[in-house]
Structure formats: structure tokens, C-alpha cells
Amino acid sequence: MHAITIKNYSHLGFSGELNIGFFNNRLMGTLFYSVDVEKYIASFNKTTDIKLNDNQEASLPPHTRIRVATDYQGHKKYIDWSDNRLDKEVNLWIERYS
């Protein structure tokens, strides 16, 4: 697994921190911590064809999941794009080797 962090990343006119994760040299997912996450999510919903459901999630065929979540400490909200297939692969790898 490899991770890259890009500080001062900008998306839809909102800046923040972008974390990019790779598993076996494949892009597994990205997490975007916007400095104003609530306004960013509102802009995301307005300016994209992707609509988040009541659980703040969406699917983008064929294998992409988009969701709003909070970090493991319960402090920072972010939006996450991930590949469902690689998520399953990572979970199997963790089960096998942890």
C-alpha cells in the first residue's frame, strides 16, 4: 500500500487536503478534506450529475463508491471515492495477514 497527500488541493473551487491511496500499484481511492466540507458537498451536489442519497453515498458504475464520512477520530469530515473491488481485495488481504 502507498499513500500520497497533496496539501492545498482545489476541487470545485474549494481547497483542502487530498489523500490518494494505492494497493498493489492500483488506485484504490481518494479522500478529500475540504476546508469547508459542508459548502463543498452542497457544491458537489449542485455541479455534478452525481447525487448523494440520504446516507451521503452514491455509486458510479461500474465500480466506484462515493461517500461522505468522518475520520476514525470522529473529528474531520471528508468525501471519499473508492473502487469497490479493491476495497474487497484489501479487506481479504487484511483478514489473511493480520
Dist CA 98 CA 92 (whole Å): 10
Indicate if the pLDDT at residue 81 is higher than 90. yes
Categorize the per-residue pLDDT at 60 as very low, low, confident or very high, splitting at 50, 70 and 90.
very high
Instruction: For residue 9, give the C-alpha cell.
Output: 488541493
pLDDT above 70 as % of the chain: 100
Long-range contacts of 64-68 (CB under 8 A, 24+ apart): 68/37, 68/41
Residues 29-54: tens digit of each pLDDT: 999 999 999 999 999 989 998 889 99
Dist CA 25 CA 44 (whole Å): 28
Indicate if the pLDDT at residue 55 is higher than 90. yes
Delimit the domains of the chain by residue range.
2-97
Mean residue pLDDT of the chain comes to 93
CA 63, chain centre distance (Å): 13
Indicate if the pLDDT at residue 76 is higher than 90. yes
Dist CA 53 CA 31 (whole Å): 18
Categorize the per-residue pLDDT at 6 as very low, low, confident or very high, splitting at 50, 70 and 90.
very high
The dihedral through the CA atoms of 57, 58, 59, 65 has a sign that is negative
SS3 85: helix
What's the pLDDT score for residue 1? 84
The dihedral through the CA atoms of 42, 62, 10, 25 has a sign that is positive
